[in-house]
Amino acid sequence: MDEIIAGVVGFIVRQTGRVFVWLLSFGRWRGEQLFGDEGAIHSAAGSLSFVREGRRVITDTGLLFFGIAFYVVAFVVVIAYAAQA
């Protein structure tokens, strides 16, 4: 059961990272395909992004990083807003 919950949370965070990257780059960058092997084929191990055909591609690790960063920033903003109220 824990593995299922961790998989769902990981999926949600990655998709959030995908949207966050797309919004920050105004659509110029894209996330790696959902079940694609682009990162394993075209980038170094553990990299957050790589360039393919002139376009920046964010790997699964990078999407996870950006997704977690989004939730951390959102949490800090909510705490700061609640502290002022």
DSSP assignment of 42-59 equals: HS-TT-SEEEETTEEEE-
Crossing angle of helices 2-24 and 60-84, in 10° steps, is 80
**Average pLDDT value for residue range 27-53:** 84
Give the separation between CA 83 and CA 67, rounded to whole angstroms: 24
Residue 32 and residue 56 in contact, taking contact as beta carbons nearer than 8 Å: no
List pLDDT tens digits, range 63-83: 999 999 999 999 999 999 999
Give, as one character, the DSSP assignment of residue 31.
E
Instruction: Please give the tally of structural domains in the chain.
Output: 1
Give residue 12's domain range. Answer: 2-84
pLDDT above 70 coverage of the chain, percent = 100
pTM value? 0.84
